[in-house]
Structure 1
Amino acid sequence: MTTPPEARDPAESPATRQSGWELRTYGLLAGAGLISVSLAAYEIVPASVTPLIRESLGIGPTVAGLLVGVMFGTAVVGSLPAGVVLDRTDSRRVMALAVLALFVAGVWGWIAARGGSYRSVIASRAVGGLAYVVVWNAGIDIVSRAVSPDIRATAVGIFTASGPVGFAVGQATGPVIAARFGWPAIFPAFTGVALLGLVLFWPSSRGLGAARGDAPSLREFGTVLRNPTVWHLGVLGFLSYALYLFMNSWGSSYLNQEIGLSLALSGLLVSLFPAVGVLSRVSSGLLSDVVFGGQRQPVLLGSFGLAAPLVLVFTRLGSVPLLVGALLLSGFAIQLTLGLSFTYVREVVTERVAATAVAFQTSVGLAGAFLSPIAGGAVVSRFGFDLAFLLAGALAVVGVGLAWRAPEPTR
């Protein structure tokens, strides 16, 4: 399903977009990307120092997993309302306010962690989750509107690549920051950097966040929820995010507890998993736009088809080099879907509710990200790592079947 040209929003006419890779486009991607890198690092960094947090606060693995999962849980709830707001307001200004709110949440988390208040830390992370999903949805919306349709998937892929960069930075530097300043410092360390990104983003995004003409009606919003292709893509996003967060949250603990590597080395090696997403998410757009002539489904199928066997056999790989190879390849495969799905879902609805569709994709996808670290912790605690990775691999197999049946948007 797609939208006929006459149904497109007039405010989204070619005259309002840049025709290609102009200087302003690079500035926009740099600013929005730096914000997203910083906030993704803030999002994942507790996973890199989980043993220290458990010892300091006296909590178990499932509860510790909630420190990562709560941000995704609040994002699940807040994403769709955020998309509705972004379709009706100036998304550029809303994004700036969200960055400021995240800075406050980072300082709040640092104070609460120093005081040993687990509940207050969780509350700060919940606020951070609401603000982060606004940044993510608004960033995708603004980048999509800044370029012409023939390079949209590539541009959005570059922006979404900021996510794995941030995850890699958080995984690799979290133990270093904790060793130097104490583990509570991991919270404000990254939200402060986002303010620098805002300085780059603000001038380059001028004129790109305004609401699209008349506010969309409730009926138009309802078309997003009634669109079967939107739901199909949402489930694929759910599975992909679940795999992504499971590997990020428990890969380091597996290497530390089962293989015997140090916490710092484990975090460094697992940082390769999200880091390869820089190549993967950019490649997803290029593969779709150039190699497959705008087709989206082949990229999704390749994503899950490569990830499934790698996750299934992960705990059977006895050597560190094999484990590193599996982390790199599975990280590349899983993030192909994460890079492309946000462009894909915009193409099956009208431009007037495009931000809502992106928000829906974010919400359903992050539901998988929320549940995965918590469910993974419960399985690891009771049954061990072998079964946990086996179940994660089974999710990838389900993704293969769904990707096989994913419909192409009509152009």
Structure 2
Amino acid sequence: MAPRNDAVVDGEATAASDPEWTTYGLILGSGLVSAGLAAYEIVPASVTPLVRDSLGIGSTRVGLIVGAMFGTAVLASLPAGAVLDRTDSRRMMAAAVLSLFVAGIWGWVAGRAGAYWPLIASRVVGGAAYVVVWNAGIDIVSRAVAPDRRATAVGIFTASGPVGFALGQSTGPLVAARLGWPAIFPAYTGLALVGFVLFWSTSRGLGGARADAPTLSEFGTVLRSRSVWLAGALGFLSYALYLFVNSWGSSYLTDEIELSLALSGAVVAVFPAVGVVSRAASGLLSDRVFGGRRQPVLLGSFAVAAPLVLAFTRLESVPVLVGALFCAGFAIQLTLGLSFTYVRELVETNVAATAVAFQTSVGLAGAFVSPIAGGAVVDAAGLDAAFLVAGALAVAGIVLAWRAPEPG
């Protein structure tokens, strides 16, 4: 993944003069920041029964604690992308890390006081931090490597999401048992700080605004592209499935299979954890196995996930459930790993960052809606019905992926 020697590649600055280890350090550092935010993002889902009982709220309102970050990201992603095109992305990353510290402490104080809406407000701050880190990370990593290795580099960066999700799902119950459930909110800020130090030291020269920042008219071409909207729809469905299983898989194992909260969290952690391999491998599969074609990977992602999600509540053996979570997690996250490279390739280079911001916004809309809508279905009809609805979304993904065009 060595950087190119060119000062500019496809209109984007690269880390041409830096040694190869600097490029790896940049990806690792930005990935650790993202992983810390992802752990903060999902960790309430690992202790849903504790939060529900402590605050005296229903499943839908618990789902909003998880979903509030994604709702914020939906609204903030496109403005954040526009700002990142015109300002210093490194400094924006610094501001985002500071915001995470504020959100973590605020959430801890609100949780201890039993203050639901201040807790939601802290999650909104965390959502703004998350979308800046995500868009800035993809933008800077894309600038740092050559185009023929960009899908692999971006796939590795996006693997920070499942790393953080697995960390939050598996350790959240342990943190809650030892320090009380409100402590889950500031618990993962240290990881983001370590990552930021590494990111800051390896990203010099990569954060500034590009000379070819898109005009308002060029920005509009992204929103008018049917291919971009189709890529966004695939991202919406993938994120909806991903967050649904992350949010309600633990509750199913606790309520229906009668596993302990800690054990169910560890089992569900398999689902995001496999994304470390899946997201990083998505680009390699597309580039090496399918000769640069993107559509077969997208189609296979939903084709494998659909029957596994539909059949999930019919499985009673814990080893079989772990296997189903592993396979479904791998399949769903193939799209999450590839879609950000895919959408960049559907537009001109100077609006690529805008396309990524759009993909983030539409995709995270699915992540925002999923825990809340899932909670409403659970309250109304139970977990079996909720998993059937999620399976139907995967079937819809098969139909859309079949129509997905190849870039170029």
Q: Report if TM-score (shorter chain) is over 0.5.
A: yes
**2:345 is equivalent to residue 347 of structure 1:** yes
Structure 1 residues 21 and 252 mapped into 2: Cα distance closer, same or farther (>3 Å)?
farther
Equivalent runs, 1:11-26 vs 2, <5 Å? 12-13=10-11, 16-18=14-16, 22-26=20-24
* Distance (whole Å) between structure 1 residues aligned to residue 13 and residue 141 of structure 2: 15
Q: What amino acid is aligned across from residue 145 of structure 1 in structure 2?
A: R
Alignment correspondent of 1:366: 364
Contact 2:9 2:146 in 1 (8 A): no
- Given that 1:158 and 1:282 are in contact with CA atoms closer than 8 Å, whether structure 2 keeps it comes out as yes
Q: Secondary structure at the match of 1:259?
A: coil
- 1:129-208 aligned within 5 A: 129-208=127-206
> Which amino acid in 2 is paired with 1:67?
I
Task: Give structure 1 stretches of 5+ with no counterpart.
Answer: 1-8
Structure 1 residue 130: Cα displacement: 1.0
Going from structure 1 to structure 2, the CA distance change for 1:119 and 1:18 (only over 3 Å counts) comes to same
How many positions carry a matched residue from both structures? 402
Match of 2:327 among 326, 329, 341: 329
Residues 149/282 of structure 1: CA separation in 2 closer, same or farther (3 Å cut)? same
| Counterpart residue number, 1:312 | 310
Is the CA contact 1:109–1:184 (under 8 Å) kept in the aligned structure 2? yes
TM-score normalized with structure 2 length: 0.96
TM-score normalised to structure 1 length: 0.95
C-alpha distance 407-20 of structure 1, shift in aligned 2 (>3 A): farther
The aligned residue for residue 58 of structure 1 is 56
* 1:30 corresponds to: 28
Instruction: Tell me if structure 1 keeps the 8 A contact 2:165–2:269.
Output: yes
- Measured in 2, the distance between the counterparts of 1:387 and 1:297 equals 30
Unpaired stretches in structure 2, ≥5 consecutive residues: 1-6
Letter in structure 2 aligned against 1:354:
A
Runs of 4 or more consecutive aligned structure 1 residues displaced over 2 Å after TM superposition? 9-21
SS at match of 1:114: helix
Distance 1:146 1:245 in 2: 30
- Judge which range, 266-275 or 105-114, deviates more: 105-114
The Cα of 1:12 is off from its aligned counterpart by 4.6
Distance in 2 of aligned mates of 1:238 and 1:355: 18
Q: Is 262-271 or 191-200 further displaced after alignment?
A: 191-200
Match of 1:389 among 380, 387, 390: 387
RMSD: 1.6
2:350 maps to amino acid: R
Name the stretch that deviates more: 383-392 or 248-257: 383-392
1:233-273 Cα distance to aligned partner (Å, 9 max, x none): 00000000000000000000000000000000000000000
Counterpart in the other structure of 1:48: 46
Q: Deviations for 1:291-325, whole angstroms, at most 9, x for unmatched residues?
A: 11211111000100000000000001121111111
Paired residue type of 2:81: G
| Residues 1:18 and 1:313: Cα distance change in structure 2 (over 3 Å) | farther
**Are the counterparts in 1 of residues 11 and 350 from structure 2 also a CA contact under 8 Å?**
no
| 1:116-157 CA-partner distances (Å, limit 9, x unpaired) | 101100000011101110100000010011000101000000
Shift of 1:391: 0.6
Measure the CA separation in 1 of the matches of 2:17 and 2:166.
Answer: 32
